[in-house]
Each structure stands twice: as C-alpha cells, then as structure tokens.
A and B are shown apart, each in its own frame.
Chain A
Amino acid sequence: MTDAATLATALPVRSRARRRVSFRAVFGITVLLAMGGAALLAPQLAPWDPARQMLLKRLRPPAWEARGLREHPLGTDHLGRDILSRILYGGRISLAVSLSSVALAATLGVTLGLCAGFFGGRADAIIMRVVDVFLAIPYILLAMGVVFALGPSLLNVILVMGATRWVQFARIVRADVLSIREREFVVGARARGNRALRLLVRHVLPNALTPIIVVATLELAFMIIYESALSFLGLGVQPPTPTWGWMLADGRNYIATAWWLATFPGLAIMLTVLAVNLLGDWLRDRLDPRLTV
C-alpha cells in the first residue's frame, strides 16, 4: 500500500452540526417527569385524602369559577371528593399499570416475534396461529373473562392487559425480522461465528428497535385508555381507589352539569399520552446512528 495517504482512505470528517435541543425530548421528559413526580409524591402533594367524602361540598367547580372553593383548586366530584387529590393518586395507578403492562406485552411480544420471524417453520406457524386466536377475540371480552375468573385486582389487570396486547409487538417484530434476517450483514455475522441467540440479540434486535419503540409508545398510550376502559366497565381496580379511568367513568354522567369531573382526568390522560408519543419519536431517532452521528 502506498503511503501517499490516499484520500480514498482518509478518515471522513464528522460534521459537528450543532445539535439543537429537541423540543420533543424536552416536552416529553418534562411532562413525564412531572407526572411521575406527582404520582410518587402524591401523599405529600395531595391536599386531601382522595377517598374522603365531604358531601356538603359536592359538585363544587374549580376554584376560579364563581362557586368554587379555594381549598379545592380543581373542584369536587359528586361525592365531595377533591378532584386534584384524586388526579394525583389516580396517576399512580394509571401510570404504574400502563408502564407495567407495556413492559409485559413488549417482553412477551418481542420475544415471540423474534422467534417466529427468525426461525420460521414450525415455530412461526404455531406462534402466528396463537396470534390469530388472540386477535380474533375482542380484547375487552377476553379481559372481562379473565378478570371475572381471577377477580379484579391491580396485578390481574396488568397481567390481562399485557397478555392481550403482546400480539401487536409480535406481528410488527416478526415482519421486520423477516426482512432483517436476509440482509447481508446477518449472513456475514453467521459466517463469522455468530450462533442463533447471539445473532438475534446483537444483530437482529438492535435493527428492529425502531418499530418496537414506535409500537411501545403507541401501546403505552393505549394502555392508559385500556385501563380506563376496564375501570369503566368495573373490571379494573376497585373503588374507592381512584384511577383516571374511574374518574372518567364517574364523570360521564355529569358532563353537561359538572364538566370538571371528567375533563381533568381526560386532560391528564391526554398530556401523558402526548408526552409519551413525542418522547418515543425522539428516542427512536436518537438511537439510530444514521441520524445522530
């Protein structure tokens, strides 16, 4: 090799493009930190016991309205319980449940999707038939069935939600893996001694991250609403433990007369979902070296 440091082999210059701080990341992280912090610190932050009924102060509007009371900034519900406190405590459940169930669904779904896509053949056929079965049954019905059998509790709710939504991950991951495994770098990795497990974990999975993150953020949003739905149907966590879903359910009847019962939990759900989606987008891009380096 001539040592005329051939320019063809010169180290490419890394354009240190000034990384503008991403709005999505800041918004997402801030909101989620705020939500998470509020949830964790609910006992310290909540002005009232969320289960305490103060019937003399039922259906009071938020403090800035005419009939509002200063000690109840967001108003009270039909049983005189403080809305703000219920939102803070309710966040604990909603966030905890949705995060756990997404984690469960993702673990189950990604693993099965990787196996189905990578190994093909019988494993693929079996897994995909199971996926088909799960998809055919309406998930609410499934959830109802399981909760009915096992009894409504926090753990059961998480299990049910995780065990019904794993299919979303499995399908997406399997589709991606089917194309990734044919790419030459995977074949090359096999030639250089990677065996199945290492191939899956070191080569296939990192390249399937993008759809996984996208689905995870969508599912997180979905889980929050799913939990609300289950609570609404009476299948979730039982009262008086507040969840945002329960609050929506209760507030449904008062939409016209006492809008604040349903609106604030709705806003809380919306903000959380928005933050999660934005953060997910940012994370997905951040993890792709082609976009960041």
Chain B
Amino acid sequence: MTVQAQLLPGTLDLLILRAVSLGPLHGYGVLLRIEQISGGALLIEQGALYPGLFRLLKQGLLTADWGVSENNRRAKFYELTAAGRKRLQEETESWNRLSGAIASALAPQPEEA
C-alpha cells in the first residue's frame, strides 16, 4: 500500500477543480477521480469534500445540475465554468512555480556534497 499524504491546506479546492476539469462528476466521482489521478497517494476525508464543493459553487467556478449516475442513482453533477477553467490554469501555474522553487531549495546543494 502506498503511503498516503495529508493534504496541504488550500489544495483541496485545486484538486477538485482539476478532477472536474476532465468532465462532469458527482461528489463521489470527484473523490474517486482524485484518488485515481493521484495514484491513491492523497487521503481525503469523504465528507470534507462537500464544503469545498459548495465554496467553489459560490465563487462561480463550478456549476451543478442533478442527473443520473452510471448505476442509475440520482446525483448532483459538477462541471467547470469558464472562470473555473481560468482559475485552474492560474492555480496550476502558481503551484508549479512554488513546488519547483521548494523542490530546488530542498535539493542537495553543491557545497553540501
């Protein structure tokens, strides 16, 4: 079993946006998608997903509509809005810059060797 990492604060929203960017999903689907794209490395408390979803809805980054799931259950499906797509792109870039910077800062430096 892979070691599961705790989410950094604030990254849940980014992950939700990323998960939904691949196509409309219901809440449980978002959870599965995150698990899948992170290779099962990220642990998300299931219920904690919903406050995040509602927050993004309120910010207008997502829209929601009731629909029917693959196994015929009524569920609410979330979809990325144009604003959401733009935000995802910005956040991804800023995340990459940050993680790159931190990675290079933590990498062994020549004088340490």
Do A and B interact with each other, yes or no? no
